[in-house]
Structure 1
Amino acid sequence: MPSVEKLLIRAVEATDRPPFSAAVALIHRDGRPVESAAVGELARWADTTGTPAPAADRRPVTPDTLFDLASVTKLFTTTVLLGLADEGTVDLDEPVARRLPEFDTPERREVTTRRLLTHTSGLPALLRLWTDHPDRSARIAAILNAPLVSPPGTAFEYSCVGFIVAGLLAERITGQPLPDLVTERVCRPLGLTDTGYLPDPARIARTAATEYQPDAGRGLVRGSVHDENSWSLGGTAGNAGLFGTAADLARFGEMLRQGGSLDGVRVLRPETVAEMTRDHLPAHLDPGFRHGLGVRIADPNWMGALAGSGAYGHTGFTGTSLTVDNRRGLVVILLTNRVHPSRDWSDIAGLRRAVADAAAVNR
């Protein structure tokens, strides 16, 4: 089995149009790093025609390179809500409309926080907020009035809309902005000094570029959230918007693997992590994997050999992933910018499986 570093080097050097320009991988076993790799350049192209990026943007990737975590953000939103549940502030089975009256219609009264976190709310996968609505207030109204695509609890529909609602719910309950909640309840206790929304200029300088988006009037995106819906809401939504490093994300994964605490600091109760990481889908719902609260479970499409151990975690559209395998004591991080310079250029499912397989045999 090739080393993780060789797997990444082969991918970035495979063709003139590799699946990413930047990648960092990190494998922890029993709480200790056992393999790591950082390859490539922060940016390679200025656009989708093959124009090279300026030399200043083509700096080498290092272990402290930041990546747009994309939907891995959903795990942080989940952790905030589960922490509030631990305190008795949130009831996972309470209708969301009790806290967000704007969400209240007869068909939505069965939408609960649990169903938001398990993608069984019936809310649609996506909306085009950035093209269909003129400003943030109109976009939030569109989210809270999104028509259901199925009755709550009857189908699995992976829904970024649902996680935007989850972030709005956390804000409404606490009266605090979601970035502050993530910082105060997750990042600061765990010492995640490089993880957060809206990176400052110093962090942008070591952030991997993502997509060239001229149709959205953005040009080459770097240091601003790639997800257009989150971007249109100011870059701080519950579905996407966090940036972070492999080391920070590994610490977050270790907190889950160790039952909600790390280095003597407790973020979630052990029973809450157990509830988060168990299968919540009814047996008749079979999307090809299982699902907990926020986390996907045993997905062979990207977990490779780890899926058979009941591993859990999440991926991000930009090319990121976090996988935790409690049976093997593993936390596996793969961060890439696979949407650079175009989302249509690559599919890294095979690389994710290869990295997971390498972690499974690493000793």
Structure 2
Amino acid sequence: MKKCVSYISLVLLMLQGLQAQLINGSPESQGYDSIKIKTQVDSIMQEGIIEKAFPGAQLLVAKNGAIIFHEAYGFHTYDSIQKVQKNDVYDLASVTKIVGPLPALMKLYEEGKIDLDQPFSTYWKSWRHKRDKKNITLRELLAHQSGMIPYIVFLEAVYKKNKRFKKRFIRSKKSKRFSRQVSENLFVNPRFENKIFRKISRSKVSDEKIYRYSGLASLIYPKLIENLTGKSYTSYLQNNFYTPLGCNTLGYLPLEKGFKNAIVPAEIDTVLRKTITKAWVHDENAALLGGISGNAGLFGSAEDLAKYMQMLVQEGRYNGQQLLKPETIKEFTKIQYPDNNNRRGLGFDKPLIGNDTLSIKKSYPAPQVSKESYGHAGFTGTFVWADPKNDLVFIFLSNRVYPNRSHRNIYNLNIRPRLQQVFYLNSNDTKK
């Protein structure tokens, strides 16, 4: 009898481990009408392509741990040569912030190696003697409540007045001194990283503590993570998150991966690379760091992103492993400064405050998402969102910046909130 009970317990444990992975399912298995869903999504996607919001895109939706929708639309470019495929790899832009440095910071937090409410200068020494920065906390930085300026164009520092590159920073051939690759024929001196850090250190900080989105600290996080762990930033992410999740495409510098997946092009760069940015990070600041940064630089497929977001929905558990503690995820995904009209979590974006009272034209994201939901958007046209209350993961990938970043119909047409809304209005168990 005891052997029988032990065997049953073992089987149950094995089933729990299996159920902690994403599986393929059907809309009907989760109470949706597949024809109705596809008809509505197809209509919005075709509108986006016709109105040149993007040349192509794809959408993956998982409900209750099952992928119930994953379709690809359009082409990589407007010449309609290469069709979008479900396993294509995209430049994730600012989605990097929550899939790159953030899980590492979450793990360091739960290990007691960083304190959200201690001054960031405790861990980043160059800020200790900066009057306007020495008391800024990591919580304020992650919630965009620090007063830091939004952005610095570091690209200006690599050019002479005649618009030629300064040879101490950029060269056309790789060498020991110029080892970080920007594009096929451009290499940056790793010491330029120090110039970036100095400029951030000298940047102005507002005295007023209000919500102000800033990506500057994200440029620092990879180096901070290396300092605190004694390991390379990319290997730390790979070993602690991407490999356990079974993410085969997620990572930096995709050309070094050697995978067969097609990489979707981003913008035709007329400033730095003088060519199409395909497999090279679109963001210029990340490019000047050699493509490995906390603000941008990650590439990945829709399925890999879904695995990561599903892990968060499952309170840190995936494939039988506990990658993050439930209480850590809860802390990082809650609104930090609601009294300051700041909707942000720690690193994660959140719905607008009062989002459920807004129309689809004014909401962010869809009005029907729960207050517990979270995610992030990327400049290149990417968007990931998780709703633990409704057990819904939403992954939208596009290259809306092709051929240039002036294409803004993805915003004007509310493409992503409208797509997201389809999976709430047609669900029988939506909870706000």
Q: Give the structure-2-normalised TM-score.
A: 0.75
| Structure 2 CA distance for partners of 1:186 and 1:347, relative to 1, 3 Å | farther
Could you report, residue by residue, the CA deviation over 1:22-79 in whole angstroms, capped at 9, with x for unpaired residues?
Answer: 21100111110111210122233xxxxxxx4xx8xx3211110011111111112111
Are the counterparts in 1 of residues 370 and 389 from structure 2 also a CA contact under 8 Å?
A: no
What is the CA–CA distance in structure 1 between the aligned matches of 2:373 and 2:193, rounded to whole Å? 39
- The corresponding residue for 2:82 is 59
Kindly provide the amino acid, as one letter, of the partner of residue 83 in structure 1: K
- Which residue among 268, 275, 284 is the counterpart of 1:219? 275
- Which residue among 182, 205, 229 is the counterpart of 1:174? 229
Identity %: 30
- Cα deviation for residue 203 of structure 1 reads 4.5
- Which residue among 318, 321, 325 is the counterpart of 1:269? 325
- Cα deviation for residue 307 of structure 1 reads 3.8
Are the counterparts in 2 of residues 22 and 337 from structure 1 also a CA contact under 8 Å?
A: yes
Could you report, residue by residue, the CA deviation over 1:98-118 in whole angstroms, capped at 9, with x for unpaired residues?
Answer: 222122212211122222211
Aligned partner of residue 5 in structure 1, secondary structure: helix
| Structure 2 CA distance for partners of 1:205 and 1:30, relative to 1, 3 Å | closer
Could you report, residue by residue, the CA deviation over 1:80-131 in whole angstroms, capped at 9, with x for unpaired residues?
Answer: 1010111122222222222221222122111222222111222211111122
Kindly provide the amino acid, as one letter, of the partner of residue 77 in structure 2: A
Residue 4 in structure 1 maps to residue 60 in structure 2? no
Aligned partner of residue 280 in structure 2, secondary structure: coil
Residue 193 in structure 1 maps to residue 227 in structure 2? no
- Cα deviation for residue 178 of structure 1 reads 2.1
- Which residue among 64, 68, 82 is the counterpart of 2:91? 68
Are the counterparts in 1 of residues 89 and 301 from structure 2 also a CA contact under 8 Å?
A: yes
Aligned partner of residue 383 in structure 2, secondary structure: strand
Kindly provide the amino acid, as one letter, of the partner of residue 304 in structure 1: A
What is the CA–CA distance in structure 2 between the aligned matches of 1:143 and 1:164, rounded to whole Å? 11
Kindly provide the amino acid, as one letter, of the partner of residue 305 in structure 1: P
Kindly provide the amino acid, as one letter, of the partner of residue 114 in structure 1: R
Correspondence 1:82-101 to 2 at 5 A? 82-101=106-125
- Cα deviation for residue 352 of structure 1 reads 0.6
Greater Cα radius of gyration, structure 1 or 2: 2
Q: Give the gaps of 5 or more residues in structure 2.
A: 1-35, 159-168, 170-188, 356-362, 428-432
- The corresponding residue for 2:344 is 291
Are the counterparts in 1 of residues 283 and 297 from structure 2 also a CA contact under 8 Å?
A: yes
- The corresponding residue for 1:161 is 216
Residue 337 in structure 1 maps to residue 399 in structure 2? yes
Kindly provide the amino acid, as one letter, of the partner of residue 62 in structure 2: H
- The corresponding residue for 2:22 is none
- The corresponding residue for 2:419 is 355
What is the CA–CA distance in structure 1 between the aligned matches of 2:107 and 2:207, rounded to whole Å? 28
What is the CA–CA distance in structure 1 between the aligned matches of 2:227 and 2:147, rounded to whole Å? 21
- The corresponding residue for 1:240 is 296
| Structure 2 CA distance for partners of 1:171 and 1:144, relative to 1, 3 Å | farther
What is the CA–CA distance in structure 2 between the aligned matches of 1:183 and 1:236, rounded to whole Å? 13
Kindly provide the amino acid, as one letter, of the partner of residue 251 in structure 2: G
CA RMSD of aligned residues (A): 2.0
Q: Give the structure-1-normalised TM-score.
A: 0.89
- The corresponding residue for 1:48 is none
Aligned partner of residue 394 in structure 2, secondary structure: strand
- The corresponding residue for 1:26 is 60
- Cα deviation for residue 144 of structure 1 reads 4.0
Aligned partner of residue 299 in structure 2, secondary structure: strand
Aligned partner of residue 25 in structure 1, secondary structure: strand
296-305 vs 67-76, which moves further: 296-305
